[in-house]
Amino acid sequence: MKNKFYHYGLLIAAIILAAIIFRESFTSYFFQDDWFSLKIAKIRTLDEFIAFFIPRRDVIYYRPLGMQIPFFILQSLFGSIPFPFRLFVFLVHAGNIFLVHQLIKKISGKILAANISAFLYAVSGIHYTVFYWSSTLSFFLGPLFLFSSFYFYLISRSGHKIFYLISLGLFSAALISNEMTVVLPLILLSYTLLVLRKFNLRQLSPFFLLPMILFAVRFLFFPPVISGYYSLGIGRETFYSLRNYFLWSLNWPEEVQGQFYKFGLLNPQFVREFASYVLIFTLTTLVNLFLSFFSVSQLFKNKNSASLHLFWFGIIWYLIGLTPIIFFRFHAFSYYLIISMVGLLLSFSCAFEIFVSHLSKKNNRGTVFFTAMLLISAGVSSIFLVAFNSKIHWAPRRARIAERLIVRAKTYPFDGNKEVIFAVKPDSENKHALNNQDALQFIFKREDIVTSYSFASKYKFNLTD
């Protein structure tokens, strides 16, 4: 019993703490792309369901299993109530926490590394936006299938072919959930070369073939329109993006990407206005860097080749996970780290376990002290990140705006056949919150309803203040 608690006690605590830290998201409303997802997932026939799997040309992504299908199921069961969507998102996150624990334990063979990785992953601020924004559910579902696929690939190496086929099936599910999962073949290749120290072309080929087929069909037969927002570029913006992703990995808020006036210098006004938050984020970053320095130093002192290979594999996993988006100059979000982060946690946690194991030979209290320091630092930074985001992040703000406007719209009685034009203050936040025309058309189930982003006139239902 005691052994099981050691294995899973911290894992369970991490899931509970994540629910507490991100609890405000459970009561948030739909906004922005949520309305588009709700509209396209509202179907009545089998043909419409099959159409989910036909790539749309009006969006760049292809996520039928990550967007349309879960939205269809949740909407069919619970209607347009946000809470079931929020609860489902959290349950998927809990599944990912468990899989991260199992993956790290399977790859490294280290229980403490698995527990620490699961805890840090659970409370990381990179998940913040997904909890609020239901249309980004695919950024939890895709990794769920990817982590599962990787895990079954690992256990298939014992000679069970069925697990290999399950791994391929789960990877297929990952690909049609979220395009970020395309990195799995490269992660597997790195694992076989660095950790296993062997290369099996026959085993890995299907993993490379699947995304090639999917993307060939997508871009040859259903090419999407690629806007400037998704334009690619290599230059100093790439280094800025790497800086931002690294800081987000250390639990800095997403807002920090717009607050640098030089590469490593924050806007003084931002520092003054949010001094207490900047202080906490700086202190917890210093704690992380302090522990990382001593952990990695001890790792290299030990000169254990297996541990070093795991360390470098984790670093490469982190970088590989960023390859699909690192060159998007104007499109960067912290939730793009959800797959990459596990690689960084693998590297750090394995080095940290070696560090505390070395300490335990001299003084067991040192192990407890530094482990507690790490976990408390992660928890504190996440709590402050959520508090900071609640003040300025666009996701909760737009959710509040959408709810306020829709509650007001529902107070207006109008005839079912009458032309309906809602007037909304010409503010970009209002337009984002309602996703232009989608929100009110979905709420009132009428495609002819118009939302006019202009000042009210006597011919319109006024939603402006």
What does each C-alpha distance from 150 to 119, 181, 187, 206 come to in angstroms?
20, 11, 9, 14
pLDDT digits (tens, 9 = 90+) for 97-140: 999 999 999 999 999 999 999 999 999 999 999 999 999 999 99
Q: In the structure, what pLDDT confidence band is assigned to residue 339 with cuts at 50, 70 and 90?
A: very high
167-193 pLDDT, tens digit per residue, is 999 999 999 999 999 999 999 999 999
Number of C-beta neighbours around residue 369 at 10 A: 13
Residues above pLDDT 70, as percent of the chain? 94
What pLDDT, on a 0 to 100 scale, did the predictor assign at position 159?
78
DSSP 67: I
Write down the mean pLDDT value for the chain.
91
Return the amino acid letter for 3. Answer: N
| pLDDT confidence band for 360 (50 / 70 / 90) | confident
Q: What is the pLDDT of residues 376-385, one digit of tens each?
A: 999 999 999 9
Q: 231 falls in which pLDDT band (50, 70, 90)? A: low
Q: Does residue 303 surpass a pLDDT of 90?
A: no
The pLDDT > 90 percentage for the chain reads 72
Element (H, E) at 265: strand 265-266
Question: What pLDDT score does 227 carry?
Answer: 58
Verdict on whether the full-model pTM lies above 0.75: yes
User: How far is residue 154 from each of residues 150, 336, 341, 373, measured CA to CA in Å?
Assistant: 6, 24, 19, 32
pLDDT tens per residue across span 38-73: 999 998 899 999 989 888 877 878 899 999 999 999
pLDDT of residue 414: 78
Mean pLDDT on 395-405: 96
